[in-house]
Structure 1
């Protein structure tokens, strides 16, 4: 809706079609003119109406005088036919929310109320022009346009901070006052965020004031129309509305962001993009603005900028980057009037295409990644695998080229940065390019696997980090050579290319760190500290790792290195979660990383990593909704970063699969694991520690999908590899042993399961300590083996210690803690310690149902145990209900554990027999026998017991209870 700017009297003939206010005001003025008197004021509250300033589909705006404070205001009314009582009450609440906003770029709201069933808003009357009029009438430079739009955007961000959304952001609803200040105006469609547009509004919507009474035919509205609202479809302005708003879906602040970007592109280029033609006009803009605005115009609201502040910060570089090019430098460089330079205010007489100034910004990269390197890749891995790897390198190289061009344009086109800053950007990019050279040099190593190369590509320095405040300052030739040599040594130590012994690699990394501290530069010390911390973490030495990451933090604070600060906090989050399982410390470190990340543009690889770490923290805390939300956000952000992050996408898919399995959504989890395998498994070869991870992840994927022989091959391969790399008594080896316990338990091989459980427990206990959380994995395996062998006292001891360790680390409402309670409760049930068992089982069931859902697979064990308890108490009906519920849950599992299922069928058979249901009892007994027979010799005793029972209860007509 257009906001008015000057008072005009009601002209002859204008009363027709106006609301009752216009009619009444006209009547009073006519009467006064005839009688020669002053017209009687028409009051709305304490405001005397003077004249209508404008009208549209959703209401009208009037100039009025506040008789108490003697000031002019703009009084905005919404049309009565749009507001039923409930809608009026909502509008009042939202207008009151506007009245609480105090921001220089938001037109102040003084008061709200109702008049004749219509909500009104009293606002400051500010003389001026809409941004559309301002652009058309004054022809401002693009720099002035951008600055003005950003100022208006600050006001829009304040509206969002109040929990409101505008829903009609466009140049006509933003204004520049005669004081030069930009403001957000016209709040006729403002709503609470994340509220679906009511159907009543959709049905009542008008086009430019057209009636929507029954039988009225609205004017057609096309996608290019600037009409205020589209009849029967949505409220807002079609040409500026986000796709989700056009579809009538729930909208939030991201919809306002879309309209803001449409208006800005239109003002800068004269062309209006839409969700269908988002790129329209963008090619005229500098690369940095193209990237920022494309994201704001993304059809998917979740892929737009996080919020208006993030968008505005991306549009304008932080203050440390702003720098006006001196006139003498402009003359020397001869910058000219091409489209892009005209957009940003250069007025040189001799036009020079700025593209020519930045055309060769990626020249050095073309030598690093060319036909020769592509050929070497194909020779090393074959054409199919080489093509996939080349796509990943191409993605990184494209990002590198884009940043090189953007850094150049900031100086030579946009005039936002100094030549010195460009030198720093280029120095940083050259170091990243050297990392690519080092990676490609690894193709000569016959032990290099495609998986390893894919991981290296994903861990190349993110090119857009070279635009950060702490981009590497230019170095002398000697300093650069020293940094590259130290970086080469650290790379080989980090990945064990020359030496696999972890202790020796740590020792040699310490020597590199000492050298970096002595000779510099700071970037070498950061790289050495992070490398040494990562290797210490691999070795399970939390104290040493924490010390190294802390030292990097100190250096980052001293040298103002934001990127290093973020890296250290992310590593500390991982350490607290994986090695200490200290949720409080993990959350704190993670929050510090997020604080530092807030200043970085998105998408950025560090944002994605932080989301994934946050999802893992939430999973351990039992906050499964939050865990899934963050995990999906991480996966989306890694996908947005392109093929170069294929390895990270695989890790993120496995992480999300783990969360979905915890929620009982096994089929979805398996689909993600299959996707990860398809995307990032190239086939493995021995040579680095990550091969052990490849084997283990493949083994786990096969295990959860029931491919037990394949799982055994992969897991034993993982065991051999990690023993070779880390030594037989390492945390990584204990982890594989614990996974093998689950495999052999599923195969019904208790001797093998016990062997690996004892090894896992002995290594964890001696290497990490008797109360370290990792020991719960081994103790759970030991308890499960004892339980299967009917050593219920042994199972109780293992599960009780496991629960004690878990209680010290996990939240009281954690589903993982509830799982440990169920295990112990099950063992106590078999020991006929019913009261203790029930005290554990019932709260655990409630926790799992509340956090994971009523169909979580672990609940089958709990319901089985409760069924046994009730059976022993002779509550046969209650026992039957619990056991049948256990079977319902098992039926959801495509690969149920035979021993568990056999137990439930066997117990239900005896319960039904005592209830006199002989045929049902016989069926359950037969199913139990079938399951125990599957297990072979280890379950021979159970199978014999069931056969004897069936024979004992058999009659000539069939089994009887």
Structure 2
């Protein structure tokens, strides 16, 4: 077997085995990968441990065997198709493929390097109980199910093709190719079986590739349809899976391959006699039904499990059904088999519980007593949440919100309460289920419950910190409250038992564990303050935790502390220090195997480096985040978060198309993973609409901005500053799309909302009036526009200094409205004021300058006045050019061409010089 694993040929705790000459790679490098040592080989291929310098990680690199004497083109095709097959499956229990390419004239495949051995070697070394065996096979089965969902059939499932990491996660690998070094060939129990194995091995290497590039199989695990050479489907893998599980549970093989071969031969002969035809091999398809035998199988073909085996009957029944010689008699899918192997355990335990209790009392009393017992064992498992999310907390939150006097306070209190209540309820449900799965049904081991409880307890602390902050909310916090509630760490992470198992274990010392738990409380408070935007207070709090967290040596905690500290340094203008701290946090998270935290840190690091124009490092951090997510098997929200910052990076470098693609991908991921009212869904559409609008595609931006407005109202209600911002950009987009009449109600909505938020006399209201006036100008409602701009100008003169740049749009609007009314002479003064603000944006000055040019020309009675008008038009043209507004440049040119050429004035005659006498 060729497998993506490390640790081959080593014992536990004994260090690496001596390096043999045959394990030394023949070349030092393949592509960018540096070869370290050989891990495995077989008839067609060889696997090396390698180092990827670009991403600073070890990988398993699969290559064709350098001395292979088979057809090279076919071998290359087989390896490439295997890589394609594996790449189609993204699942935590399938080895991920990182890269595939050509080196010289052959294909290489780079995969994750697993720090463990095969499932077969684990069975020999660990001597596991039947529960542990079943747990590993259930993981592998989930990997097979993922392959089936991707349209693939493995066709060679066996213990040697499953890897088990040191953390206990099982990975299905080798969708066809060689054996692992040291595993040796399949052993035969009889001369007949030896001949069968030998001929089958040769046949496997010579078999024509299917569309998925998968091989025929290994005799000890092959189904009758594989021996028959007929079409295969997912039930073929089910048979091989159960054959392997049978051997792991009972220590013996379920059948003799020679007997299966004889049975297949007899079946084929009977078919030929019946209809004169013979089954032909064909392309493997997930949906193809295998050919059915027409004679009954001998009753003893599949051996009965040993009677003294301590394996429950419901497991035995499921395994034997999966080993049915007739594929139609097996489970309809891999998932159905997995359900039988996992969920039926609950029924089995409950029956045994009822039976044991029945020996002590009457059947009726016991039935009632057992039902009561089951309901009470975990009844209080979620009770701790009742100390956090209480009626008193809800009342204090509502009271604090009302006290701010904000017009949206009541609505935000209700919405935040709803999100928090849902989170608390989901926490309780998960906590009770976790207890029941261990203490009632027994489908999860106690160690797994411990990890899940630790994770859930941390989430309870996070909720408590958020609730405490919201019950003391000020106006700024009310505005952010729904975002804060939605920002609570996801609860589903506590159900990812594989990821939790891989993280660094907590210390066994009770005092140190207690210290860590106390520090987690305080870090939860820091996290809540960060989400609330209270950066100075959060920075002071996390700095006080730096030394005690370092002292614990607990890596996930250190990573979290540096994560917050680094991000807060960025928020307070210390970007270089932020980069240093976040980089250290990444390595802490990697060492502690806190993968989700690592991705969150990498995303912030991407943002910080982008802000410093360190574009290449920023891109590399983003790529590492993507690779980590791939190892996790996908995490839509985290992936979307990364894509948003990758879009920002693309914008910084002027790559608008790339930025748009990233935001579209992020939006699709959020839509898939988040509820409709989640603020991130609305915000990403808003960012995408703004990007499209900024690229000059106003019409393309409209559906995005309209959808963003609707989603924002669903998230925070119709009265909220975010809603005002959505209306404002939508008004601008509609104007630029040439639809000022549709823009007008959105502009008016901004005015109305800002009056509610800030009062009638505020700079925000004045700015909103400017946008309203722009809509009225576009509709040629000059009287209305003049009144609107005069109101805006009066407010600004009262609230702002005379030289404040914010006055420029209002002066411009007054002048433009007067010019539209035919009052050119009156428009000159406000337009001259508008162009006097040299710090205003060039496009704004260009608009004012062009209007001033027209006004001056209309009122100019002298050549000097008309020349002044030409000069203003020329300056406006330069500013339009600077702003990239080519259409407006053309308008200025057209206007200048309509002007008559001024005749040069004759020079003034000089008076005659006096004669000297």
**TM-score normalised by structure 2 residue count:** 0.45
User: Highest CA radius of gyration, 1 or 2?
Assistant: 2
